[in-house]
Amino acid sequence: MYLGLDLGTSAVKTCILGPGGEVLATTSAPLAVSHPFEGASEQDCAAWWSAVSAAVRALDPGLRAGLRAIGLSGQMHGAVLLDGDLRPVRPVILWNDARATADCAEMEAAEPAVGQLSGVPPMAGFTAPKLRWLSRHEPEAHARIAHVLLPKDYIGLRLHGACVTDPSDAAGTSWFDQAARRWSPRLCEISATDPAWLPAVRHGIEIAGHLLPAAAEELGLPPGLPVAAGAGDAAAGAVGIGAVADGDGFISLGTSGQLFVTTDSYRPNPESRIHAYAHTLPGHWFQMAAMLNGARPIAWLAGLLGRPIEALLAEAEAAEPGPIFLPYLTGERTPHGDTEIRGGFSRLGETTTQGALMRAVVEAVAFSFADAIAALSAAGPVPDRLLAIGGGTRSDFLMQTIADVTGCSLGRSDGADVGPALGAARLACVAAGDRAIAEVMTKPAVRRWFTPDATRAAALKPRLAGYRALYPALRNVQSAIG
């Protein structure tokens, strides 16, 4: 059996994979995010480790005792800054943090080829611009840095004691030469980064280290287990759903959203703001449209209204179309590359119901995938059948709306909401030497296909146009108020 650990933004999730490739157990432990100022998003490494411990300890002891290996997945781009004693220098700056916007423009000015080298122009959520920001705004913290890790790799450090990452997580830093699959001295130079701070890079199916006795005791696991290098959450999701051959694609509906297509070569297209990144597997890359908000606005509105998500979604499906919503609660990457834009409702009236508000939010999530399809189409062909992973796949209404808007058939399988944790467990299985990639990284049986409905698509077309008009309108509003 194999343990997958996925360090998400809102929770740590675990998955135990059985000898036949079946999911035997899952657990989760919640995480909180702090926002010390507008546009800032941070978490505490200690809270991560506590959540990992809680989630692993919640697994059946008999299953834990039978494990053969551990694999890792996690939120990408976060800046985990450690001193010479491997202690955190400051809280982790997360993927949806917007403070380094000006630093991105300055990196592009210093090196116009940055997008071709790193797969996409630098964006504020990436790791490298954060280091440049720190050098100017927190020079004392910057001076103490001895190591920089990505979030899942900090968990790896706690497990096995080494500073190791994989190509897919390295890809999201703006330090990685995607074509050569190595750290770029030039990209480090323009972002106030010492290349010596960066971890070793190993493919996700390689062993990064072995479980230390102290960590094993804390987690209730057998000591000495091999720990696979793992993958960033997008690539781990691809492994979990079997999207590992050229042309395989899927969408991810988690806190953030992704439209992901595996490629057999490096295909950058910086102008489209599509991420062209190295995969965690040797000889593979991927193209990805990355949306900062994913299915998160659905949970946001339910929390704001103090209502259960399921009840609001039922009301939304029955509600007449009314308001239009822009879902950019934390800015947006694809297609706008705009960290400052924020969300908003349009066309509110006295008869607007809570269900109508949620319907607008569901439509907006779907519309963001329509924009993703359009952007990815500029960089290459997009499959017309996509698998889907993430917590948002539990909603039939959301899945059908995305299918109608994008014209793509979406497949949902059992355990689709397990996502990256399953991919991490699969990487562990291969790293342990028990099975080959082709045996492990298979596609799941699709339990239901959501196929586009022409009538619903036609009804949504003018609303999509309104959604696309709302972005420049709210951008003007934001510019006016500063």
Active site residues: 233
Which residue(s) pair with 398 in the sheet?
none
User: What is the 3-state secondary structure of 313-363?
Assistant: HHHHHHCCCCCEEECCECEECCCCCECCCCCEEECCCCCCCHHHHHHHHHH
User: What is the dihedral sign for C-alpha 29, 35, 40, 45?
Assistant: negative
Contact 375, 270 (CB under 8 A): no
Which residue(s) pair with 277 in the sheet?
286
User: Diameter of the chain by CA atoms?
Assistant: 63
Alpha helices in 144-274 (DSSP H): 151-160, 167-171, 185-189, 213-219, 233-241
Contact 129, 104 (CB under 8 A): yes
Cis geometry, peptide bond prior to residue 335 (ω within 30 degrees of 0)? yes
Which residue(s) pair with 27 in the sheet?
14
Which position has the token pair 């339910």?
302
What's the CA gap between 417 and 233, in Å, rounded?
A: 13
What's the CA gap between 460 and 92, in Å, rounded?
A: 40
Q: What is the DSSP letter of 34?
A: B
What's the CA gap between 237 and 189, in Å, rounded?
A: 32
